[in-house]
Amino acid sequence: MKITLDKVVKTFDTFRAVHGVSLEIESGELLALLGPSGSGKTTILRMVAGLEFADSGRILFGDVDATHIPVRDRGVGFVFQHYALFPHMTVAENIAFGMKVSRQRRSREEIAARVQELLTLVKLPGLGNRYPSQISGGQRQRVALARALAVDPKVLLLDEPFGALDANVRRDLRRWLREIHQELGITTIFVTHDQEEALDLADRVVILDQGRIAQMGTPREVCRNPNSAFVTRFLGDANRLEGVAARGAIRIGNTEVIRTAVADGPVEIYVRPGDLVWSAEGQGLPVTVTRVIDRASGRRVLASTESGFPLELDVDVGVDVEVGARGGVLVRRASAYPLRG
């Protein structure tokens, strides 16, 4: 099912949450809506679901204008962050609930067979008689997804579904959800503020800022070619420096740090820790080490430039560097934008 948002606007009292958003979600695509709190991502999801109605613009399901169709008639499955399972019902009863109240009547035998099929799909066979309080958070989220899939939705909507889970469980569920999506091929919209989650899962990412689309593209496109300082900052873990661009080169103080096609004048530079190279011989931008953090996969070095800008860079676990050491950093790749006054 292809979904189209055409210049959709949504206002709450005097606050405009969504500013004329237009985008297309292709049939079978897994699209992530990514952005900070208040960026409009959940409002867009709720409008697609029919839980909120647009003030203007249209929402199309295929060729059908669904803008004002009630949620019950839209054919969507919705998974919330906090599961929303009925605590007094067993796992099987929770999964069966939507089928029992659906306008599409099914026999008791058909419902029971579908519940068992879904329990197998979400890798919870044999747990149908347990109650939500008797299973883990990750298992409860699998049950919530099974319940959403039970009504054979045309569109699957996921609102921060892993936000209440710890990091290891989230990582496992991300891989599992991607496998489920590839198997079923349901058009899916996924809301998250977690950049890693969006980039791991999605075919395409829409980055929102204050109710507007800041950038959209594949994970590779938005990571390798961010179109603004906001997108670069939001995609995480970037050092910010200031310099001056002239004739295709950017200098910080007396050091040329990178060559790039940006207009001459003051610029802000964003560079990831993995794109900086430590030089004990002092090549590149002069820095002083202020802290060293040891991790299982390597070392994170915190340093300060001569002009006082903090820097973080990743080095191999075997690199010998200590607090107080003076050296340099070389920039392998960076994004630069004109510095606004």
Quick: pLDDT tens for 102-111. Answer: 767 788 899 9
Residue 312 carries which side chain, given as an amino acid letter?
E
DSSP letter, residue 52: S
- Cβ atoms 257, 248 nearer than 8 A: no
pTM score of the predicted model = 0.87
What is the model's pLDDT at position 26? 96
Helices and strands in the chain, H and E counts: 8, 20
Alpha helices by DSSP H, the chain:
41-49, 91-101, 108-121, 137-150, 167-184, 195-201, 219-224, 229-234
Topology match between the domains 3-231 and 237-338: no
Q: Which helix (H) or strand (E) is 228 found in, with range?
A: none
Domain ranges of the chain: 3-231, 237-338
CATH number for the region 237-338 comes to 2.40.50.140
Please report, in tens digits, the pLDDT of each residue of the chain (341 residues total): 899 999 999 999 889 999 999 999 999 999 999 999 999 999 999 999 999 999 999 999 999 999 999 888 888 998 887 778 899 999 999 999 888 877 677 888 999 999 999 999 998 999 999 999 999 988 998 899 999 998 889 999 999 887 767 777 788 888 888 888 998 999 999 999 889 889 999 999 999 999 999 999 999 999 989 999 999 999 978 999 999 999 889 999 989 999 888 889 999 999 999 999 999 999 999 999 999 999 888 899 999 999 899 999 999 988 899 999 999 999 999 999 998 76
What is the model's pLDDT at position 341? 62
CB count within 10 Å of CB 241 equals 21
- Cβ atoms 94, 86 nearer than 8 A: yes
Which residues face 18 on adjacent strands?
10
Sheet-wide strand order for 310-315:
276-279, 326-331, 285-295, 298-305, 310-315
CATH number for the region 3-231 comes to 3.40.50.300
DSSP string of 181-217?
A: HHHH--EEEEEES-HHHHHHH-SEEEEEETTEEEEEE
What is the model's pLDDT at position 251? 93
